[in-house]
Amino acid sequence: MRHFLLACAATLALSLPAKAENVTVAVTAIVEHPALDAVRDGVKETLEAAGYKDGENLKFLYESAQGNPATAAQIARQFVGEDPTVIVPISTPSAQAVVSATKDIPVVFTAVSDPLGAQLVTDMDKPGGNVTGLSDMSPVAEHLALIKEILPEAKTIGYLYNSGEANSVSLLAVLKAEAEKAGLTVVESAATKSAEVQGAARALVGRADAIYIPTDNTIISALEGAVAVAEEAKLPLFTADTDSVSRGAIAALGFNYKDVGKQTGDIVVRILKGEQPGDIAVKVAAGTDLVVNKGAATKMGVTLPEAVVGRATRVID
């Protein structure tokens, strides 16, 4: 009988799903704003769906660098010292800090536009080493097409960005190339910290027909300053970040960053289950949303075409 019971117990154990082991996932972002917060939340939701529950078999750590690259480097060193199972840096500056700090702990970066340009990996398909992740390279050509559809007479696009953020510098090169194809000219205005954003936006008044803000964490963290200038000057403001439309931009064609976080979480789960990060290709995030803000358009002297409003995935009045 004892042998029979042991055999039954063994059979039952084999039939039950394996319980997720205790793990630590350390997440850091360069700054807190809705898009990056959504990425963090998406990662956590996917971990929970895969059986990793915070406070039970998962220790979920989170630190924001509050916009300071030196703090990002400090957080990276702190996390490496704590030896988590996986580190998830959100945004280019945080990813660069973490990748510089460890060659051993698995790293899954996310919300990074240009992983090659940021020198996080040397090959998107076969990253090798301890690093992989998810890119959110913006569909710049589509952004310009949207701006021209809303503003057919526009000739000059003002690019508001942080010249110290590799992501935004890479996107500037892409923007210039795509703008030339579209018959547009790009003028730049840089802010290296959030306190400079409003002044940098003001520098575009009279020089541009529209302001375009990329997925730049410094600018987006102080977006309201740029919006105030745009409303006062009747200078239409567009972003690549859909979460920024509810904060006063006219329109954005971009990613749902909760989905970006979930896609990132899928990669983290693969590593927790035994895959090596260097064997996982760096992916480009899937899916785009069109969000428009009718009230913001009115404040900036623009009437949104019905065709644009009609195909928007979200309309803010």
| pTM recorded for the entire structure | 0.75
Mean pLDDT of 76-81: 98
pLDDT band at 287 (very low <50, low <70, confident <90, very high): confident
Q: Are 99 and 120 in contact (CB under 8 A)?
A: yes
Q: Are 85 and 58 in contact (CB under 8 A)?
A: no
Give the pLDDT confidence of 266-279 residue by residue, as tens digits. 999 999 999 999 99
- For residue 21, what pLDDT is reported? 77
pLDDT band at 20 (very low <50, low <70, confident <90, very high): low
- For residue 288, what pLDDT is reported? 82
Give the pLDDT confidence of 121-180 residue by residue, as tens digits. 999 999 999 999 999 988 999 999 999 999 999 999 999 999 998 889 989 999 999 999
Q: Which class for 70: exposed (0-12), middle (13-18), buried (19 or more C-beta within 10 A)?
A: exposed
How many other C-beta atoms lie within 10 A of the C-beta of residue 15? 7
- For residue 7, what pLDDT is reported? 47
Q: Are 62 and 305 in contact (CB under 8 A)?
A: no
pLDDT band at 229 (very low <50, low <70, confident <90, very high): very high
State percent of the chain over pLDDT 70.
94
Please give the full DSSP string across the chain, using - where no structure is assigned: -HHHHHHHHHHHHHHSPPPPPPEEEEEEESS--HHHHHHHHHHHHHHHHTT--BTTTEEEEEEE-TT-HHHHHHHHHHHHHH--SEEEEESHHHHHHHHHH-SSS-EEEEEES-TTTTTS-S-SS---TTEEEEE----HHHHHHHHHHH-TT--EEEEEE-TT-HHHHHHHHHHHHHHHHTT-EEEEEE-SSGGGHHHHHHTTTTT-SEEEE-S-HHHHHTHHHHHHHHHHHT--EEES-GGGGGGT-SEEEE--HHHHHHHHHHHHHHHHTT--GGGSPPEEPP--EEEEEHHHHHHTT----HHHHHH-SEEE-
Is a pLDDT exceeding 50 seen at residue 16? no
